Amino acid sequence: MEMINIDDAKEGMIIIREILNDQGDTLLKEGTALTKDLIRKLKSLGISGVCVENPEKNNSSDAMPSEVSTELQQIEYRFSNVRSEAIMEELMAAVKEYITEKDRSDGIH
Amino acid sequence: MAYIDLENRLAKIADLPTLSIVARNIIQITQNPKSSALEVGRGISQDPALVSKILRIANSTFYGFPGKISTIPHAVVILGFVNIRNLVLAASISKIFSSKGENGHFDREGFWKHSLACGVTSKLIAKRSGMKNLEEVFIWGLLHDVGKLVLDAYFNEDFTRVVHLAREKEVLLRDAEQELLGFGHAEVGGIVADKWNLPPAMIKVIRFHHNPTEANESMRMAAIVHLADVLCRAIGVGDGVDSKVPCVDKESWRLFRLNKQTIKRLFSEMEREIANAKALLAFVK
């Protein structure tokens, strides 16, 4: 796990440790994909660093084509308010699988 | 924070325009099983702009008869009463709102893209469950969010604040509506649909597309559109205001026996059908 400076945070990076404010309230849950708006908000709230998944990977080319990985992160963002529901987790998994499988079959044809 | 009280709200909605005379006629004629294609054709012919619009869309690939339909009675026979009524209704509604409320805050194109996708997806869900009147189902999905057009056109200042709040707080539009107005687009859409004398089931679908279990005898229909709405958002065809996926109604989910595999198959069909329906976008815009 690595803490990075908020100035190095990029859209699509996944938070792996929840971010709390001074009062101890949760601002962002772990698993959230950062968006430009979220990064801006965190900065405005004085948050200086965030723990993200594979910070180097997000900076360089990944094993997975970047278009798909961006799409998967956007899916996580769209579902970020409803992930406590089992059905919604199932639905999100279906969307992710569909996108990934489609990308693979596009690559074959 | 302004809260528009019920009385005030109803007074404003009472000022809403009605559907065109041609549209009202067509709804009436097509609801009567004894009507003939000729009568429907005669009704449409009173509006020349509508005639050319309908012929153009009837000949698009969406309906599968490209370039073969040259007259309105022919279109009525080939496409059927329900399709023709849907087209007249969609054209009439989009015309009412085409010049109002365009202030750049509410993305009309995004709105219609989402509505069309919901229409197409509703049809696919209904087809999977063995329902027959698929064209009827299509219009439920297409019009389910009509209340948003009403809010944009007639409560523009309030609705602009709602749109901003939804974007700023990254919440669903419906939650922002409740917070600022105390009512939402589903409720407004239901009132307007009633005023327009749309079929009772359609009114219920529009009113209860967020909470289908409250639609009583129309629950199954409202559930179809509710699921279509959630699935479209899940795959990224949001409404142009918020892109979040709302929580699905569990009863609706179970009613249509959805699971990961069926959903993936639906997504694949949705993509193909949504692409096919693009011709309709020019029709409603």
In total, how many domains does chain A have? Answer: 2
Chain B residues whose beta carbon lies within 8 Å of the beta carbon of residue A93: 260
Instruction: Check whether residue A67 and residue A101 sit in a common domain.
Output: yes
Contact B247 A82 (CB under 8 A): yes
Both A53 and A2 in one domain: the answer is: yes
Residues A48 and A80 in one domain: no
For B18-74, what is each residue's pLDDT tens digit? 888 999 999 889 888 899 988 999 999 998 888 998 998 889 888 888 888 899 989
Looking at the structure, tell me whether residues A41 and A93 fall in a common domain: no
Tell me the percentage of chain A whose pLDDT exceeds 70: 84
C-alpha A75/C-alpha A14 separation (Å) is 12
- What is the rounded CA–CA span in Å between residue B10 and residue B71? 42
Q: Is residue A41 within 8 angstroms of chain B, CB to CB? A: no
Shared domain for A53 and A65, answered yes or no, is no
Output the pLDDT for position A6: 86
Whether residue A92 lies within 8 A of chain B, CB to CB, comes out as yes
Q: Token pair of B146, please?
A: 């009509």
Q: Residue B36 domain-assigned?
A: yes
| Test mutation, A35, A73, A95, chain B, max B CBs within 10 A | A95
pLDDT of residue B8: 66
Residue A65 — pLDDT band, cuts 50, 70, 90? low
pLDDT in the model for residue A62:
47
Please state, in angstroms and rounded to a whole number, the distance separating the CA atoms of residues B176 and B49.
38
Q: Minimal Cα–Cα distance from B240 to chain A, Å?
A: 13
Asked whether residue B226 is domain-assigned, the answer is: yes
Q: Flag whether B56 is in a domain.
A: yes
Asked if A53 and A74 sit in the same domain, the reply is: no
Give chain B's domain count: 1
Same domain, A55 and A73: no
Rounded mean pLDDT, A34-43: 83
Q: What is the pLDDT of residue B95?
A: 85
Q: What is the CATH number of the domain that holds B26?
A: 1.10.3210.10
Which CATH number covers residue A22? 3.90.105.10
pLDDT at B102: 60
Do A84 and A106 have their domain in common?
yes
pLDDT given for residue A61 in this prediction: 45
**Is residue B1 assigned to a domain?**
no
- How many Å lie between the alpha carbon of A36 and the closest alpha carbon of chain B? 12
- Asked if A97 lies within 8 A of B247 by C-beta distance, the reply is no
Contact assignment for A78 to B236 by CB distance below 8 Å: yes
What is the rounded CA–CA span in Å between residue B42 and residue B93? Answer: 20
A91 → closest Cβ in B171, B234, B243: B234
Residue A86 belongs to domain spanning: 61-109
- The answer to the question of residue B139 being in a domain is yes
Higher pLDDT, B186 or A13: B186
Q: Within this chain, do residues A40 and A87 fall inside the same structural domain, yes or no?
A: no
Give chain B positions within 8 Å (CB) of A82: 244-247
One domain, residues A52 and A68: no
pLDDT value for B3: 44
- Name which of B245, B259, B260 is nearest A79 (Cβ-Cβ): B245
* Residue ranges in chain B modelled with pLDDT below 70: 1-15, 100-104
B170 contacts A37? CB cut-off 8 A: yes
Position B101 scores a pLDDT of: 57
ipTM of the complex: 0.84
Same domain for A3 and A55, yes or no, is yes
Q: What pLDDT shows up at residue B105?
A: 74
Q: With CB atoms and an 8 Å threshold, state whether A87 touches B253.
A: yes
List the domain range (segments joined by +) for residue B49: 6-284
pLDDT at A40: 82
Q: Which of A22, A37, A59 is the last residue of a domain?
A: A59
Of A82, A90, A101, the CB nearest to B245: A82
What angle do helix axes B156-169 and B173-180 make, rounded to 10 degrees? 120
Q: Around Cβ B38, how many Cβ atoms within 10 Å?
A: 12
pLDDT, average across residues A11-20? 82
Q: Which three-class secondary structure string do you get for B76-108?
A: HHHHHHHHHHHHHHHHHHHHHHHCCCCCCCCCH
Q: Are A37 and A83 in the same domain?
A: no
Distances (CA, A) of B141 to A102, B235, B266: 26, 16, 16
Q: Do B263 and A94 touch (CB under 8 A)?
A: yes
Q: A83 to chain B, minimum CA–CA distance in Å?
A: 9
Q: Is residue B158 part of a domain?
A: yes
- Within 10 angstroms of residue B85's Cβ, the number of other Cβ atoms is 24
How does residue A51 score in pLDDT terms, banded at 50, 70 and 90?
confident
Residue A7 has pLDDT above 90, yes or no: no
Q: Of the candidates A73, A97, A68, which has an alpha carbon nearest to the alpha carbon of residue B268? A: A97
Report the share of chain B in percent with pLDDT over 70: 93
Residue B261 domain flag: yes
Check residue B103 and give its pLDDT: 62
Select from A25, A16, A76 the least CA-distant residue to A51.
A16
Of A74, A88, A97, the CB nearest to B247: A88
> What CA–CA distance (Å, rounded) separates B214 from B229?
17
Q: d(Cα B99, Cα B181) in Å, to the nearest integer?
A: 24
Amino acid at A57: K
